[in-house]
Amino acid sequence: MPKPDVSKMGYNPANFAYWIGEEPWVPKYQVYYAISFYNAKTKVESARSDWWGPKSDPKKLYGRFGLIRIPTDPTGQATARRIWRKFIAQEEKAIHEIPDNVTTKYQDDIR
């Protein structure tokens, strides 16, 4: 499977939903995202994409991002995509699995 290209991945600042101060969304946070393609039938996962970011709330009021233009697998082999998140000075972690190769939006509201 190819490595996902996140060069066009974006975020929608209108989707900020929580006040800054709720862990891990604290003042001056910086967050990065990456994705991987996954095929449930073969149990094969692609290499993780390059990290996209850092991002922070431009108004410094809210945390959590509405991710948009999440890449799809151009080969059609992926049955799912995994979204990875990393805050500065924290471990990276998988935060969501999109169970298809079509959906291109996700609201990151998981702590």
CA 89 – CA 27 distance, rounded (Å): 14
Q: Tens digit of pLDDT for each residue in 91-110?
A: 999 999 999 999 999 988 76
pTM: 0.80
| C-beta of residue 90 within 8 angstroms of C-beta of residue 24 | yes
Other CB atoms within 10 Å distance of the CB of residue 106: 19
Give the pLDDT score at 81. Answer: 97
